[in-house]
Every structure is written in structure tokens, then in C-alpha cells.
Amino acid sequence: MHLREYRSIIVALSLVWILVGAADGFAGEPHPDGRLGMPGVYIASSYASVFVDEGVPGFDRTLYNAGLTYPAMKILTFETSYALDDDDSLYHRYTAGFRLRSADPLRAGASVNPDGRVGAPLLDFSFTGKFPDAESKAHRYWIDVSALVPVSEGLSIGGGMRYYEEENPRRVDEYFGLLNYFPVGYSTDAEYENPDGVEGYPSFYFAAGGSDNGYFGRLDIAMPIKPELTLTFMLRGEIVSDPDVKIAVAGGRISYYPGR
């Protein structure tokens, strides 16, 4: 059976993870992905302007997205999302994945930043499927794998790769590096009060990379407003070498962590 035929199973499992996952510790305890044993939610949207040479087809794109993040255990978080991608036609997109930590991020006395415990790497894995609204059998997928290491209370570095089922000359993000910068560290006894950083201070998330077809760069600025609320602004640029295509993307995200 082809991997794309498992998409219904993957979506169903992600819902089961959220509904029946047991918290490894006190439910509601602050965690770098939200509150332990409690799902966080987010909504997001973005708009992409595509600049092409004369005679090269290009369509501006709008993406609407909603998702859930569930810290089921201290070292294990599950994520799932659904999106509508309005390109030259309407596409459905879904994602299921997990984040695995190499050490307990809640250990008393440990140095931390919003990504987790300093010196303890974490691994992200996700599966994304996409299919047109008019023909659900025309399904394609890609897989993301990345690793991140919090190296200090203000900095994390990492990298990853994306595998596409289908080759496309406009794919520019098959390999990438990550750098997260937090200008202000958590105060004692306030670790992860907002999992995106300290209230009133922005957190910066940089990503850049490429492929044989071109390269890209992305900046996310997360602004924790309250312990339970974060607003994030996103800018992304892509340059495709052949054909000559340039893409500029801007978007925003609202993240809510109930129980904080």
C-alpha cells in the first residue's frame, strides 16, 4: 500500500493521541509546549505574492490554518493541524507529528529557554499531506525532520530537512538551519509561564536554507501578550533559480494555552 493511502489513519491517530494521552506528571504544569496534559490551540493565516518573468505561470497564494499542540508527557508532545491552501485552486492540507526531548525540561534547578532545557536536544518529526479539493485522490505528501539544541538561556540552534514525495522545480526548502533568539530569559519560578518567551518581550525564530532549485529565508517574531496568549508575525522570502521566480510571504498566528 502506498504511503499516501495511510493519511486517514495518521489523522485518526493524532486525534487519539490528543484525547487519551496521559500526562507524565502534574496536569497543568508549565511546559515549553504549553501546559502538561492540556492541548494548546492556534489559528494562522498567510498571504504569498509570487513574482515571475513574463510567460511563466504564477499565482498569489492564501493559507488558512488551525492546529492543536498537546504535551502528553514531559518529553513527548504531539501536534496536528489542518489548512486550506488557496493557490491556483483550493487544496486541503493536514499535518500530524511529534516532538521528542532527550531530557526532562521541568527538572528543578536546570537552566532553560523557551525551547526547553539548556544542553538537551529535541527532535521534531511531522508528516504533511496535501490534495486538491476537486480530486482527493491526487494526494501528495512531504516529511519534515529537524533537531534543535538550546545552547543558552537566550539561544537555540539546529537544522533539518524536508523530503518531498514529488519533485518540483520550485521546491527550495529541502535543507535548512534554525536559530532562535530570546533577548530576555525567564525569571526564577516563572519558567515557561508563557511557552514562547517572557511577557512583553519578543522572541525571534530564524530559518534559512535551500535546495538545488534555490533558497529561502524566514523570520518569525513571537510576542507573548499574556501567560496564555501569544501573537506571532511571520515574513518569508523564496528565490527560485529556474524558472526565475521570487516569492514574498507575510502572515500571522494567534496561540492560546488554556489553563495558564
> What was the pLDDT predicted at 7?
56
Sequence-distant (6+) residues with CB within 8 A of 76 are: 24, 98, 99, 100, 101
Secondary structure (3-state) at 8: helix
Rg (CA), the chain: 19
Residue 246 carries which side chain, given as an amino acid letter?
K
Question: pTM of the predicted model, to two decimals?
Answer: 0.88
Secondary structure (3-state) at 5: helix
Query: Mind listing the pLDDT tens digit for each residue in 7-52?
Result: 555 555 555 555 544 444 456 789 999 999 999 999 999 999 998 8
> What was the pLDDT predicted at 137?
73
- φ and ψ at 95, to 5 degrees? -140, 140
- 217 burial type by CB count under 10 A (0-12 exposed, 13-18 middle, 19+ buried): middle
d(CA 24, CA 27): 8
Among 258, 259, 240, 238, CA closest to 248: 238
d(CA 171, CA 1): 26
Residue 175 carries which side chain, given as an amino acid letter?
Y
d(CA 206, CA 193): 23
147-183: b or e for each residue (b if 16 or more CB lie within 10 Å)?
A: ebbbeeebebbbbbebeeeeeeebbbbbebebebebe
> What was the pLDDT predicted at 21?
47
> What was the pLDDT predicted at 22?
47
> What was the pLDDT predicted at 27?
63
The arrangement of secondary structure in 3-256, i.e. its CATH architecture, is Beta Barrel (2.40)
> What was the pLDDT predicted at 68?
97
Query: Mind listing the pLDDT tens digit for each residue in 204-221?
Result: 999 999 999 999 999 999
> What was the pLDDT predicted at 108?
84
Torsion-angle region of 128 (φ positive above 0: left; ψ -120 to 50: alpha; else: beta): beta
Which residue ranges in the chain fall short of pLDDT 70? 1-27, 54-58, 136, 260
Contact 155, 175 (CB under 8 A): no
Grid cell for residue 190: 516563572
